[in-house]
């Protein structure tokens, strides 16, 4: 899945679980939802030779629970923290339902304890590789589908409240609690 779908789930989780409705908590939820895809950045920084496999080291329960657990310490105890962890775990669920065309196919959900691969692919995938492939009409259609399924419903249900929160001064405060 692309960051569009993961971010839609983050927005939903933030709306449902976060008691502190500010830009900082929203940023944490968005970061947690997209956390496993840090491997893309690591590949750019470290080079392909050192970080050869997408979804190997970062797409597993251990990495997600550790990363989200540490991030959750920046939020108030209770449902804010649990919501953030659940949003982070949703990344694995979404990625396991995408048709995976890159070997090795699937995610190692229980790595480092098991290298078994899991993939129940039925959701369309984004083409990767060349700029031409990534900028294709097919990818645009997949991203539109993700937006329609994972972002649009959240905006339809919570759009007015979200717009009101974003306009509030307290939302832009790191410590504020916008309503």
Q: What is the pLDDT of residues 12-70, one digit of tens each?
A: 999 999 998 999 999 999 999 999 998 877 777 776 655 556 677 899 999 999 999 99
Question: 93 near 118, Cβ under 8 Å?
Answer: no
Angle at 35 between CA 177 and CA 70, to 5 degrees: 60
Instruction: Return the domain boundaries, the chain.
Output: 3-172
d(CA 21, CA 11): 11
Q: Nearest-CA neighbor of 26 among 35, 39, 38, 17?
A: 17
The answer to whether the pTM exceeds 0.75 is yes
Q: What is the pLDDT of residues 98-114, one digit of tens each?
A: 998 877 888 999 998 99
What is the helix (H) or strand (E) element at residue 29, kind and residue range? helix 23-34
Instruction: Report the sign of the C-alpha dihedral through residues 163, 168, 172, 178, in that order.
Output: negative
């Amino acid at each position: 899945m692309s960051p569009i779908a993961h971010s839609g789930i983050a927005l939903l989780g933030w709306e449902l679980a976060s008691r502190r409705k500010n830009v900082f908590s929203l940023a944490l939820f968005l970061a947690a939802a997209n956390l496993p895809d840090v491997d893309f950045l690591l590949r750019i920084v470290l080079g392909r030779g050192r970080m050869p496999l997408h979804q190997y080291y970062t797409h597993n329960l251990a990495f997600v629970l550790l990363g989200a657990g540490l991030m959750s310490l920046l939020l108030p105890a209770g449902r804010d923290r649990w919501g953030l962890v659940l949003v982070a775990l949703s990344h694995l669920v979404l990625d396991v339902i995408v048709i995976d065309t890159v070997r090795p196919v699937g995610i190692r959900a229980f790595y480092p304890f098991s290298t078994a691969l899991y993939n129940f692919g039925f959701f369309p995938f984004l083409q990767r590789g060349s700029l031409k492939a990534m900028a294709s009409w097919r990818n645009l259609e997949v991203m539109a589908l993700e937006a329609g399924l994972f972002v649009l419903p959240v905006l339809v249900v919570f759009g007015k409240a979200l717009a009101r929160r974003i306009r509030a001064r307290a939302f832009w405060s790191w410590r504020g609690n916008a309503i």
